Amino acid sequence: MKRLYRSRNNRKLSGVLGGLSDYLGIDASMLRILFFILFIFTGFFPLGITYLACIFIVPEESDVL
């Protein structure tokens, strides 16, 4: 069973996008580029709040495995 977690190896800030890329099976760099583009075009607020919430809600990789 696949689980969503914050990556400890594939991280730039907190590992949210690295863990999400593992969960979705896509390249982390592509997900980061897409996130950045959407972050700019949505006016920072929706994705910024979502990212911050994921930092506190999504467990770290060591807690899941």
Reported pTM? 0.86
In the numeric block, which tokens belong to residue 23?
């969960």
Question: What span, in angstroms and rounded, lies between the C-alpha atoms of 62 and 6?
Answer: 9
CA atoms lying within 13 Å on the CB side of residue 37: 6
Judge whether 11 and 18 are in contact, CB under 8 Å: yes
What digits encode the pLDDT tens for the residues 6-26? 999 988 999 999 999 999 999
The amino acid occupying position 40 is I
Q: Is the pLDDT of residue 34 over 90?
A: yes
CA 21, 22, 23, 25 dihedral sign is positive
Centre a 10 Å sphere on the Cβ of residue 36 and count the other Cβ atoms it contains.
12
